[in-house]
Amino acid sequence: MREPAPLPAVENYPPAAKRNTRNSLITVGIILFLAVLVYVQWRAWQHFDWQTFLQETRGLDWSRVGVAAALIYATYGIRALRWKIFMRPNREVPAVELVSPTMVGFTGLALLGRPGELVRPCLIAGRTQTSVASQLGVWTVERIFDLGAYALIASVAIFVAPSLPALKQFRVAGVIFLSTVVALATGAIVMRKNGVAIFGWLEQKLVHAPGIVRRTLAKAESFIDGLNAIRDFRSFVEITLLSFALWLVVASSYFEIAHAYPSLRYMPFSYLVLIVGFSMIGGLAQLPAVGGGAQIATILALADVFSVPRELAVSCGILFWLVSFQAVTPAGLILARKQHLSFRGLSSQAAAPAAVPIEP
């Protein structure tokens, strides 16, 4: 069969105007969603005591907050080491070379919101001279391991946590969460083993399809390379252990933040593991730089699930967000400046390959 003619380079990605319109609509949707949540909570919290809020915040043990920030910084080293193992089958890269793009990538997430999630694989692709599509494949596998490790840790936490009426319903949610992770893992395994053949067959069938369809299929082989990140049992064990370590360190950071408040030192580690999950879910609706979803989710969890006074819940929820999402920003901006990187340029570069459906 005759090979199709090469596609012109100018058609690589959707026009900038379409991307900007799509991003604007997403941002407006997130703003409206968060505005509704804020309004509902304002109606429920009309007797909010700002004096109590300030008093709780002034009583912080800042040394514990510093430990929490240091633990969050440690997670970037863990992520870099894990990414090195993911890349091992295709290229040997020292983990230290991946720390900088990892930190800059998470700074992009903090400043740009969810679209900044793709900055990291783009930076790593440039640093290691590999294709962006292959690093997006690695990123997808990383997400599955993150979800799987956290799901197992949270499932244990649900059953060992001191009894609370609101926690009973989360046991069902934990089963659903685990089932979702298993489904994602199964899909990744199928794509790893049969993806090239599947997309090769599709390329033949869709040879006369619009250019964007053929370009997406052309990226499939590089994308599957990323899914081939684990080729031996040793790598699987290393990545699994690092994934568990990562989320235990994150939960330890949340534990230090909560225990920086004298009024919250009664909270066991298992509670903070579950609060990490609320932060993860809320983080899916983040506005650039100001967040929103993560703060609201953790505040609601503290107040409505764990019966923390609302003033204290607001203070602690904001601090969770500042440490876990924004603590990396100063270092990331410095690293980006040294490497002459523009976050506006990174945002556009990251948006370009977003046509590949990878978001778990």
Over 70: is that where the pLDDT of 276 sits? yes
pLDDT at 50 over 50: yes
Predicted model pTM: 0.75
- pLDDT of residue 45 exceeding 60, the answer is no
Radius of gyration, CA atoms only, the chain: 22
| pLDDT, tens digit, 9 for 90 and up, residues 117-172 | 888 998 998 888 888 888 888 888 898 889 889 988 988 888 787 877 666 666 66
Q: Is 94 left (phi over 0), alpha (psi -120 to 50) or beta?
A: beta
230 contact partners, CB below 8 Å, separation of at least 6: 86, 89, 141, 236, 239
pLDDT in tens, 171-222: 666 677 677 777 777 776 676 666 666 666 766 666 666 666 556 666 555 5
Paired tokens of 318: 């904001």
State the first-to-last Cα distance of the chain, in angstroms, to the nearest integer.
Answer: 36
Q: Give, for 314, the enclosing helix (H) or strand (E).
A: helix 310-321
